[in-house]
Amino acid sequence: MQQHCIKLVAALNTSTAATRQFQILARAQQARGLFSSLLKQHHSVEPPVYPRQPDTIRLGRTLELTDDFTWLADYDVARPYLQQEQRYLEATTSQWSQQARQLLQDMKQHLAAVQLDDPPEQVGPFLYYSRSNPHAQDTILRRCTASGGQQVVLSAGIMQQDAAQVSRLLGVEVQGGPMHS
């Protein structure tokens, strides 16, 4: 009797483990089916299927390469496939359009803050460039050395200080100086 009970418990344990494994697989399959049905509900456009049309390209006397998609080089033939692919891309990514717009806006703001106005120009050991600050109206002329250090060469603040100094030295009103402000 005891032997029979041990066999029964072992079979039950095996059955329980198999049942758990079956339940896990069933849930995974159900989730996959649910997910794919959600995708199908979200868009009805299918991705294009590019037919293979083998074309052999001979290089020299002995080397041959086979390209299944050489026919795509003809734009008029490939255009319908490209249009279908574009429609498929738009349909599958439309759910992210708001996030994409927000990301683009954030990138524009960050890039505008460090935007170079003119291409850098090498003069001697220095690389000169100007940078505009979108939050202020001034443009800053900077230079950078080969070691990577940056120096401000000209800015609105420097110009005001220079104008004030010239006004004091000459006793003449200089635009931008303290007497003119």
Same domain, 49 and 101: yes
139 in Cβ contact with 128 (< 8 Å): no
Helix (H, G, I), strand (E, B) or coil at 80: helix
77, 97, 113 — which closes off a domain?
A: 113
pLDDT tens sequence across 16-59: 565 666 566 656 555 554 444 444 545 677 888 899 999 998 88
79, 97, 113 — which closes off a domain?
A: 113
User: Which domain covers residue 147, as residue numbers?
Assistant: 114-170
- pLDDT at position 92 is 85
What residues are paired with 150 via a beta bridge?
A: 144
Kindly state the tokens that stand for 4: 């029979």
- pLDDT at position 36 is 47
Count of the separate structural domains present in the chain: 2
What is the percent of the chain with per-residue pLDDT over 90, rounded to a whole number? Answer: 14
More confident residue, 157 or 3: 157
Helix (H, G, I), strand (E, B) or coil at 119: coil
Specify the range with the lowest mean pLDDT, choosing from 74-78, 120-124, 141-145, 157-161.
Answer: 157-161
Same domain, 100 and 149: no
Q: Is residue 179 part of a domain?
A: no
Same domain, 121 and 158: yes
pTM of the model: 0.37
65, 92, 113 — which closes off a domain?
A: 113
